[in-house]
Structure 1
Amino acid sequence: MTPRPRTAQSLESRRSRGTQSYHCRVCRGIHPLRKCKRFRKLSAEKRLRAVLINKYCSNCLAHQHSEGTCRSQDGCKKCGGSHHTLLHMHEERPPQRTPQPTASPSRPSRNPVQPARSHPRHSARSASRTSSPIRVAIERPRLEVSAPARSVATLVRQKTVHILPTAIVVVDSGSCTFETAAMIDPCMAVSSIDRSLTAAFRLPFTNLGDDEVCSATLRSRTGNFKLEVVLKLDPSLKIRTPIRALSDATRAKFGDIRLADEQFHRPATISLVLVADVFAKLIQPGCLKLEDGLPVAQSTVFGWTVSGAVLES
């Protein structure tokens, strides 16, 4: 049997290695990630999540190297940033100002009105009225109202404590797990984490334009829930809630439900915020209002969160 030429063997081995390197980690097909139909149908946020979770390079979408060793000089074709065009986020355009209509001869001008020239007859009449010796002066009594020492708003603020919804979550970095408090806030757009917390948890992060993002897996302490999230690194994300400690009597009101944060009534600093991009996956049906003057409890995958205003004497 005639042996194959060495060049043919090396070519075949290179082809086999190239085929293996193009094994898509999103759909398990044999193609580069940039040609994956399932990947291209995703939104920009989900594409970024897939890139981080599957450890692709966010600059060229390759998986043989990290972004620190990427030699590709091609940036985003839409904004020029150091990320692939398929990972470009849509920018929010600033609201356009409505042009002001120009002044026309038929409409009054916006210029200040010049005082009209007084007619001699009108001037004589006004002079005669001014020189009249009869003057009627009507003095209105002045009502002096002394300002209260404390306004109603001040009294309410002194007795009211606002609580933000927090939950103790398990952060899985892939090599180890940590427990930390997270705030659930649907009013923000992008979930964020403090940079110092990222370093403490040893979460891998990458650059996406001017921002730094990392990926992690969130788990529940009691159930089987887990969620892959992409978090934006914030240099100073420290939220204090509540401002002051609540009484044990207020805490005892919520003793019959499984709380997501058993110490919600004690002041703590929150450095992880889960917001609108994952809010729908965290909230469960169920809202509990015990009585007036107490916060409400909301059911989540981590347990019941407590939020709202507390009126304490």
Structure 2
Amino acid sequence: MNCAFCKQNHYIRNCSEFLKLSPAERHTNAKRLKLCVNCLRSGHVNTVCRLSNCRRCNGRHNTLLHIQRNENENGRRETNTPENSNVSFTCSNFSRENVLLATALVQVTDKFNKSHTVRALLDSGSQSSFISSKLCDILNLETESIDMVVVGINSSKSQIKKKCEISVEALHSAYSVKLSCLIINEITGIQPTTVIDVNRLNIPKNIILADPEFYIPGPIELLIGANLFWKLMHVCQIRLGSDQPVLQKTSFGWIMSGNIAEKSNVSHCNLSLNCDIQNQLGKFWLLEECATKPAISEEETLCEQHFVEHTKRDAET
């Protein structure tokens, strides 16, 4: 097992030097090294590769090679602002401990009995299991109408209108289970939030991970809650050390969760866009302006005065 990029004893997807590159640079080097751009191994091309597609766009390439098409070369999103506009923003940066959440790659079956590999989040703190509406549509599953309110952190509420039942199978064993899921638009954001340097983790080589690509950011399409979570747990657990996550054996394979020594930098930006404020205020006052009595000329004033002074109405008979 030699890395095609640095020639060290690890897979290229675990290579810290390879992970430092941008997705475009990784793609270029994969082509240069004549690797399959889907699994990053040699000996075949992506059209015949049996590995699952990119977990971000479902394209025929590895998730490590995924390029955001709506970003320019400098990595900044392009935005068009109208002329005579003022743009102001405030930005604050802070560092926090990077915490790895427990994930597993599982197979789910669609209406036509075809298997799809998706990333599931294992969460013992959730009373229910959830499936994204996107995955439910892809699987073309039958749904049942319900009327339920899910209460989350800080008493935030989400209205649930449908639920479905799915078949979930482990990738590395014969384990399978039927799971009732509530359908929600989005379960959570990309997990993990950044690429993790796996060379800093003391992962034993003889274990089978439930999510072999846990260190690569990707979407969460399924959440397995406490209605199944504890039934998946086995008695084995491995502590990797101080500031290292914990390995837990499950029916899906070994999951990993906990603190990671490296920091995660997060930027919060508030953006204010004022488009030609003077013009907008002018339109406002024009709309709010009350109609005034039209002015009359001096000649018209004299005519009116003459009419009042010299005109009398006959008495009614």
Scaled to the shorter chain, the TM-score interval is 0.3 to 0.5
TM-score by length of 1: 0.48
Q: Which is higher, the Rg of structure 1 or of structure 2?
A: 1
Higher relative contact order (CA 8 A, sep 6+): 2
TM normalised by structure 2 equals 0.47
- Name the structure with the higher strand share: 2
